[in-house]
Amino acid sequence: MEKDKIKSLATFKDEVLDIYPKKVGKKRAKAIVFGDPDSIPEIQANVRTVPGIITQRGCTYAGCKGVVLGPTRDIVNITHGPIGCAYYSWLTRRNQTRVDHYDTNFIPYAFSTDMQDSNIVFGGEEKLKEAIREAYELFHPRAIAIFSTCPVGLIGDDVHRVARHMMEELGGDVNIFGFSCEGYRGVSQSAGHHIANNQLFKHLIGKDDTVNGSLKYRINVLGEYNIGGDAFAIETLLEKCGIELVATFSGNSSLDQFQTAHTADLNLVMCHRSINYVAEMLETAFGIPWMKANFIGAEATAKTLRKVGKYFQDQELIDKIEEVIEEEMKLVKAAADQALPKTTGKTAMLFVGGSRAHHYQELFTELGITTLAAGYEFGHRDDYEGRVVIPSIVIDADSRNIEQITVTKDETRYNPRKTEEELKALEAEGLEFNGYEGMMAEMQKGTLVIDDLSHYEMERLIELYHPDVFCAGIKEKFCVQKMGIPLKQLHNYDYGGPYAAFEGAINFYKDIEQIVCCTIWKEIKAPWEKEEVLEANYAYYNV
């Protein structure tokens, strides 16, 4: 059954590409490939969306302010620009936070300079300065971040100069820094992630050598944004194993976490796309190795924990980890046993993010659900094909206008956590450092991989293949559901979650079981209507 479905995908390109103007069709053809784990094909990714394609992608500002810096509770974020950008990024992502002893949480505030006509004509730097003064007087925050929107870049306001000026004016106890994350700058959110990573490194990481926490094994989890409490679930699990979570980038994060992140001994990278830059910089400057990790899926979580155990080479830790896995897996198995009879044999499609479209395939596999098609919204080729292709990625104008910072060994604090020999030995035992295999290594032969799926292509996927569940975001949700297919939001989890770690896997099993068992879809056809629409709905009659 699944084999037939995968086979039927073979004609998809012929079905969709014709509709586009010739040049556009040619370009889109390169972004639609068929999975083959034995010989991974090249896919076009991180290339500018053609105008007039209704895309899932957002802008550089969204990636910088919305994704990476948004989840930090004790930095006051000021959006420098007209009102829209600040309003639309006001609590729209579900990154949760736990207020600590400083009792500060600025996440619910949407500060903006609300630029007007006259600011565009005469410049907005003075207004920005005033806004910074106001934020400072109101909250006396330890840090203020300034985010540039499109017109700021055009009129030439220099947010970095303003930041320096205001630091001098307000004295030494507030750290102020700017981000040149104008929306037009990059191909997608991804440019914003990179810009955010650079500034985090320049202005925060390594500022404080205090070693916080009491546990022996110290790690950071990078690229985990605590949507629906994922980072909480991971933190709880790590603590259970006796592992100190020094910093999360950037779910449930705080200034202290960023500033002391260099005191950890290992970096685990969840969302490779959005944070690999920080991982690299931490290694270069401080000698902390990084490994790709995945806490989405029970098996993946167990695998990740075992990797950490192996890395620290401590039998006590390894035993503790095995004990925790055994205990948690009992609950996971019970939940899976309940869901599997309903979910086995179903099909899914995932088009989301820069890592989730890969990670969530693990959960679907655990549910006996075949992934027919997947793709990222803002991934690069290395997220699809693996980091081995990085040297062959062509640098285009859109990547060139993102600042590249040169990081060198920290003179006093560079301390390789493992020697070259130790790393080699660990690699021989199966650990992989600084590596990511990408999504396609794990996709079945013949499945569809589509980068930057267009709204039109999505509609055709639904129409032609009727997957049992489609995973994307809120912009896609209501369109897909109009067509009678349930959509699971993987940006905000449909206000559910957490889905990370063992507890998250159990939540996900339940939610997907509920989705595929939902009977409302058959009501779309009213009793007085003929059988002609049966085809679109038959999958649900068989539930």
Partner 1 sequence: MDAIKNIPQIKKPSYVSSRNACKLCAPLGASLVFKGIEGCIPMIHGSQGCATYIRRYMISHYKEPMDIASSNFSEESTIYGGNKNFVQGIDNIRKQYSPKVMGIASTCLSETIGEDIPALIAEYKTGKEDDKTMPLFVHASTPSYQGTHMDGFHEAVLGAIKSLSKEGTKQERINLFSGFISPADIRMLKEIMNDFEIEYTLFPDYSESLDNPCWKDYHLIPEGGTPVKDIENTANAKASIEFGTVLNKGSIPGRILDKKGVLSAGEWLQDKYLIENNTVLLPTGIDASDKFFGLLEKYTGKKMPLKYALQRGRLVDSYIDSHKYVFGKKAMIYGEEDLVISLCSFLAEIGITPIIIASGGESGLLKNELVSRSLIDPDTTIVMSGADFESMRDIALEVHPDILIGNSKGYYISRELGVPLVRIGFPIHDRAGGPRQKQLCYEGTQELFDRIVNALLEYKQEHSPIGYKYM
Contact 203, 174 (CB under 8 A): no
Q: Could you say which of 10, 19, 99, 425 contacts partner 1 (CB under 8 A)?
A: 19
Confirm whether 231 is a catalytic residue. no
- Does 539 bind partner 1 (CB under 8 A)? Our answer is no
Q: Which residue has the tokens 């420098």?
A: 80
Q: Which stretch binds partner 1 (CB under 8 A): 160-168, 309-317, 362-370, 479-487?
A: 479-487
**Nearer to partner 1 among residue 27 and residue 387 (C-beta):** 27
Site for partner 1 in 386-405 (CB under 8 A): 397-398, 401
The residues facing 244 across adjacent strands are: 218
CB burial of 437-448 (b: ≥16 within 10 Å; e: otherwise) equals bbbbeebbebbb
**Nearer to partner 1 among residue 60 and residue 220 (C-beta):** 60
The residues facing 178 across adjacent strands are: 146
- Does 20 bind partner 1 (CB under 8 A)? Our answer is yes
Confirm whether 64 is a catalytic residue. no
Q: Could you say which of 72, 77, 89, 148 contacts partner 1 (CB under 8 A)?
A: 89
Contact 138, 123 (CB under 8 A): no
- Does 163 bind partner 1 (CB under 8 A)? Our answer is no
Q: Could you say which of 10, 21, 173, 427 contacts partner 1 (CB under 8 A)?
A: 21
Cβ of residue 439: shortest distance to partner 1, in angstroms? 23
- Residue 181, class by beta-carbon neighbours within 10 Å (0-12 exposed, 13-18 middle, 19+ buried)? buried
Query: What string of DSSP letters covers 179-227?
Result: E---TTSSSSHHHHHHHHHHHHHHHTTTS------S-SEEEEEEEE--B
- Does 55 bind partner 1 (CB under 8 A)? Our answer is yes
- Does 522 bind partner 1 (CB under 8 A)? Our answer is no
Q: Which stretch binds partner 1 (CB under 8 A): 37-45, 151-159, 216-224, 313-321?
A: 151-159
Q: Could you say which of 215, 329, 331, 483 contacts partner 1 (CB under 8 A)?
A: 483
Cβ of residue 26: shortest distance to partner 1, in angstroms? 13
Cα 192 to Cα 61: distance, rounded to the nearest angstrom? 6
Beta strand 217-224 with 266-269 is: parallel
- Does 119 bind partner 1 (CB under 8 A)? Our answer is yes
**Nearer to partner 1 among residue 311 and residue 540 (C-beta):** 540
Say how many residues touch partner 1, by CB under 8 A.
Answer: 81
Q: Could you say which of 2, 15, 17, 120 contacts partner 1 (CB under 8 A)?
A: 120
The residues facing 347 across adjacent strands are: 370
Q: Could you say which of 31, 43, 62, 367 contacts partner 1 (CB under 8 A)?
A: 62
Q: Build a one-symbol-per-residue string for 98-117: x at contacts with partner 1 by CB under 8 A, - elsewhere.
A: ----------xxxxxxxxxx
Q: Could you say which of 37, 41, 52, 341 contacts partner 1 (CB under 8 A)?
A: 52
Residue 449 parent element (H or E): strand 448-450
Query: Helices in 102-186 by DSSP H: which ranges?
Result: 117-122, 125-139, 150-155, 159-170
User: Is the alpha carbon torsion for 387, 392, 398, 399 positive or negative?
Assistant: positive
Q: Could you say which of 57, 94, 356, 466 contacts partner 1 (CB under 8 A)?
A: 57
- The residue among 303, 299, 292, 322 whose CA lies nearest residue 509 is 299
Confirm whether 160 is a catalytic residue. no
- Residue 129, class by beta-carbon neighbours within 10 Å (0-12 exposed, 13-18 middle, 19+ buried)? middle
Confirm whether 140 is a catalytic residue. no
- Does 149 bind partner 1 (CB under 8 A)? Our answer is yes
Catalytic pick among 31, 45, 59, 335: 59
Structural tokens at position 9: 């995908």
- Does 166 bind partner 1 (CB under 8 A)? Our answer is no
Active site residues: 59, 62, 93, 193
